[in-house]
A and B are shown apart, each in its own frame.
Chain A
Amino acid sequence: MTQRVAIELTVNGRPVRAEVEPRLLLADFLRDHLELTGTHLGCEHGVCGACTVLLDGDPVRSCLALAVQANGTHVETVESLTQEDGSLHPIQQAFADHHALQCGFCTPGFLMTVRGIFDDLPGMTEAQIREAVSGNLCRCTGYANIVRAVQQLQRDLQLQAVRDPATRSGSRVDDRGALRDTARSEVK
């Protein structure tokens, strides 16, 4: 008889309970069981980055994680970016403004990778930005506009920090940072 394993996790802020086959990939769990089809599957062996989601705050490849491994974690998918009123997240807006996508297949992965570095972005160099997005493949744009979009986002965040230092505290971004710190506390 096929084994089923009970899992409990938080996906985009909502608690999720399910019983899954252990061989189910996290990406397929998100897409087929939760119908969060924004997470795209390209290569299914960890090369293309299209399936990138945040796992306890860190960008990971959801095709290289089993759903059962996500038990007890916080997962964020590209669906978490859009605001409740339907407006775009600043990362999405920057991609739209700079034509940083064409066919859009790889875009969810890029958006979540950039989400993962969002906190650190104001202090990053262009080389660090390129390094950060280097694990995501895009066959349309040639990457130049993606890097431009991230740099525009970086400037916006820097300006925002200068104009209104208070806006950065208490945001979801900081909650996520705290989450990551907790997850890492064992290794110090």
Chain B
Amino acid sequence: MKPSHFHYLRPQSLEEALEMLQAYGEDAKVLAGGQSLIPLLNMRLATPKYIIDIGGLDELRYIREAEGQVRIGALTRHVDVEKSGRIAEACPLLGAAVQRIGHSQIRNRGTVGGSIAHGDASAELPCVLAALRGEVRIQSTTETRVAAADTFFLTYMMTDVQPTELVTEVRFPVLPAHTGWSFQEFARRHGDFAMVTVAAAITLDGSNRIAKAQVAVGGAGPVPTVLTDLEEAIVGEEPSSALFESAAAQVGDVLEPDGDLHGTPEYRVQLAQSLVRRALDDATSKVGGAFV
């Protein structure tokens, strides 16, 4: 349970990091907080030739707001998101989801960019990013581009980030007024990898009807699944438990979870249905702010 040999590179600036990726990217792994990569190294599931440690790039540690988005530098640690008053205000769904990542010792090291770039289908941040239609800024020596969440996650642990590219910023939309949110997760033990996660945001209009619904499921397929059919079906309706119950019953049609040691595909679908229903109820109950 020790990493195999690798060559260690520690860039001092983003520019230098991107140059190293250009030169060695095909044979390299980027090390940020290391909370996903180092277990893979320890178990030798990953044996890269080069490790590019971007831990020194303080320019990638920030939380800002711009153009209706919370923009988080890739190296920002989960704990900083968890404790950020700005995020609690602007995107409380994200604040709640981040608390479910591993344990405090993990959140003290793990980074937002790392979690997104790792692309674990059952992880919390990809689910929230997918639900809210967030974006990821990706840079290389030749290009800076912004990928939408729905094209970013490709399949299990595979994202749109190319070997010579680096995730430098993750963008979560600020929740609009009159919006309630919910993050539901089921894991066999507290802090374990989730079996299924659900992120939801519900916006009501002045006549108490659903103006906007955003719902995604994680852990029930190779990438987080946005429930677009469900979203469309409940928009314009008056929220009720009956509505949510019947809407959630349909999610089995779009989910294709694999079975594993911890649960069959059928079980995961049932779990997703229950968590979606709970998330919709919970999100609606959290809608605040008076209509004038």
Contact = CB atoms under 8 A, between A and B. Distances in A.
Interface of A: 2-3, 5, 21-23, 25, 28, 44-46, 49, 52, 55, 58-61, 63-66, 68-69, 113, 116, 131-132, 134-135, 184, 186-187
Given A46-B35, A134-B191, A187-B80, A63 B108 contact: no
B152 to A, nearest CB: 24
A123 to B, nearest CB: 15
Given A3-B8, A64-B38, A59 B104 contact: yes
Contact of A61 (B3, B77, B105, B190): B105
Interface in B91-111: 102-106, 108-109
Contact of A22 (B6, B34, B109): B6
Interface in B9-31: 10, 31
Chain A interface SS verdict (over half)? mixed
Contacts of B84: 187
Most buried by B among A21, A58, A69, A116: A69
Chain B interface SS verdict (over half)? loop
B133 interface: no
Interface string B49-80: 00101010010011100000000000011011
B191 A23 contact: no
A182 B43 CA distance: 34
B1 interface: yes
Contact of B61 (A61, A63, A187): A187
Most buried by B among A5, A66, A134: A66
